[in-house]
Amino acid sequence: MIETFVRNGPLMEITSYPVWAQKLVADCAESKRRVVEHELYRLMRDGTLSQETMRQYLIGGWPVVEQFALYMARNLTKTRFARHPGEDMARRWLMRNIRVELNHADYWVNWSKAHGVSLDDLQAQQVPPELHALSQWCEYSCDHDSLAVAMAATNYAIEGATGEWSAVVCASDVYERLFPEEGRRAAMRWLKMHAQYDDSHPWEALEIICTLAGNQPTEALQAQLREAICKSYDCMHLFLEECMVLEREASREDAYA
């Protein structure tokens, strides 16, 4: 029988979680760092990312944003009332946050429009196939993996990294001031909401994952969680690297102009 995990310390302190979870986070830290500290976000923060790259980024990122609530809905169907404390936690949390994620799609559309990218552009998805790896991985995990593993891949890994990189972009007001004042608030809403309040979401997801897995999960489950988290980070990194291919091409063209 699984020994149930019950958090005693603060939500957002890693020492509040089992030793195996602390090791899991540490093992995935380098993969996460490559995303959060990526050059693309520094260029975005400094307002020097080309419009061509920004356009590709916004279009390529749309499937994950648009589908994120549906990933959560797929995980919700894996729960049953009163079957396990972790499922009850996941059930309440997913139901509460699915509605929030639906609104985030609207905010992404507004951000895109501020860069001249229409909803038709987002839906047409005229981008390199490498930019679809993340959405395809999320869909696969939520369809085939257990509740704990799929939430690790999406609500823990992707939301966690997104909260941190969006905070990087919002660390100064340079990027924000690129938009006309009258449309600035709408253009920045997706970024600012993630940078300001989403910080607790990955910690809440981690608590649910630990409650589902227990204090002493099998080595196999720990490996599955580690692989899922790192794969999400790696797909995010692939996305960024592909966008930077376009950015470097644009830089070379400017140099020769």
Find how far residue 109's CA is from the centre of its chain: 17
Distances (CA, A) of 27 to 115, 174, 213: 37, 34, 18
Cβ partners under 8 Å of residue 214, min gap 6: 2, 3, 4, 5
Neighbours of 3 (CB within 10 A): 10
Residue 51: alpha-carbon gap to chain centroid = 23
- Per-residue H/E/C for 79-147: CCCCCCHHHHHHHHHHHHHHHHHHHHHHHHHHHHHHCCCCHHHHHHCCCCHHHHHHHHHHHHHHHHCCH
Tokens coding 89: 């936690």
Q: How far apart (Å, rounded) are the C-alpha atoms in residues 31 and 36? A: 9
Residue of 150, 156, 153 lying closest to 74 (CA atoms): 150
- Cβ neighbour number for residue 66 with a 10 Å cutoff: 18
CA distance 178 to 196: 20
pTM of the model: 0.96
Which one-letter DSSP state was computed for residue 154? I
Burial 215-250, CB ≥16 within 10 A → b, else e: bebeeebbebbbbbbbbbbbbbbebbebbbebbeee
pLDDT in tens, the chain (257 residues): 457 899 999 999 999 999 999 999 999 999 999 999 999 999 999 999 999 999 999 999 999 999 999 999 999 999 999 999 999 999 999 999 999 899 999 999 999 999 999 999 999 999 999 999 999 999 999 999 999 999 999 999 999 999 999 999 999 999 999 999 999 999 999 999 999 755 799 999 999 999 999 999 999 999 999 999 999 999 999 999 999 999 998 777 665 55
| Residue position matching structure tokens 């589902």 | 212
